Amino acid sequence: MIIFYPPQPVCTPIVVADMTDSSDRWSDAEIQAQSLLNKPESAATLLPSSVYSCKYSYSVQHNGVPLGAALKMSMNAVISSPPAGLIAQVSIDYVASAESVDQMSDALAKFANPQFKIMTAVIVERTARSFINRRFVAFSVVLQPDAYGTNATLFIHAASFDDTLIKTELGYQFNITQPLKAQLIALASRVGYTCSFSLGVAESVPVSGRLFQPTTLPKILDEICLQNKFTYTINDKLIAFYSLIAAPDSVSVPEAKNIFSFLGFAGNLVWGVGVENYANVKFKTPIFDTKLFDKITIYNDSQSALFQGFKKASFRVGTTIPESYDAYVIRYAIERNDTELCCEVTATNNWLLAQTRIDGILESKVFGAAL
């Protein structure tokens, strides 16, 4: 289901679910519990939720690679035949008060930011073990009638809080006299975040000084990481920084939710498996609570040749235990539509290759040799 929180101190959550779908049926107690659990800080008091049963679909994408992507985490939802009450309650008016061309051209007037009251949207899904949720700021709601004017579709575009909001506190001057780690911790603390660093990351001074004007947090971190050759991810209020050379630190045995197989040897089932960029495996699996750069293990119980050339985590033992491969999640998407409800994961078996577009390098070598 999708829960919308209109920007009001006394807020009535708007819940959209497809009660005709067995995977999306919720009791009143579950709806109220999830509405309360995901309540934004701006809502001082919650009234009972308004629930609408509609046909809808959505796609949530969270990208860790490559650095510099336009949006790290985004959500696009489509609601078919929305009732008039739903349309009125989820409409947003970030720029409705602009009365001149100058106001419309102002960069701060184009996006949701702390000067405006924001519309929060939360995706909630069941997993095999519990619930997962992903929080967004809705920045565009468009009602599109069909060609005959007999029906309409509501299109909702949203992005994560960090991708959307511009804060004045994010203006920062990086210098080349202090260690980069200390400066990153100071920047993060301005907006209420803490930092963690892999061994050896950000120990030296920045390669160049830079004054960053107020912008979104990922845009600042993308540029800093590109210049200083490391990467990062944001989970809740923690910013974790990782080396581009060494894989993220993790326990030797991943959690049970991060184990997969083709035919059911262990963990969750995978399907639609493919390989891209030589060392990345892409597959679909039932929804689970994954995070960027989590370590996962895939057992090749189907003896597929797709993993030919991948580095093995364990070798085959007789006819009972298949070989396994470790990988790190670099991208995932949660999809709900009429045909499937799943999580599409892209993970890399080679951390270094995941950070480099090796296919472009090899192509240039091929064409270079031919010239």
Q: Fold for 168-243, please state it.
A: Phage tail protein beta-alpha-beta fold (3.55.50)
Q: How far is CA 226 from CA 64, 71, 78, 234, in A?
A: 13, 16, 35, 16
Percent of the chain with pLDDT over 90: 49
Q: CB of 156 within 8 A of CB of 198? A: no
CA distance 116 to 284: 38
Per-residue pLDDT of the chain (371 residues; tens, 9 = 90+): 999 998 888 899 999 999 999 999 999 999 999 999 999 887 878 899 999 999 999 999 999 888 877 678 999 999 999 998 898 888 876 555 556 556 555 544 444 444 456 889 999 999 878 899 999 999 888 889 888 878 899 999 999 988 888 887 888 899 999 999 999 999 999 989 999 999 889 999 998 888 888 888 999 999 999 889 899 999 888 999 998 888 887 655 567 789 999 998 988 999 999 998 888 999 999 999 999 999 999 999 998 888 888 999 888 888 888 999 999 999 999 999 999 999 999 999 988 888 776 656 666 666 666 65
Chain segment 204-249, per-residue pLDDT in tens: 999 888 888 888 899 999 999 988 989 999 988 899 999 888 888 7
Domain parsing of the chain, residue ranges? 2-164, 168-243, 256-354
Tokens of 78: 């489509």
Domain 256-354: give its CATH code: 2.40.30
Q: What pTM was computed for the model?
A: 0.86
Taking residue 116's Cβ as centre, other Cβ atoms within 10 Å add up to: 17
Q: CB of 82 within 8 A of CB of 52? A: yes
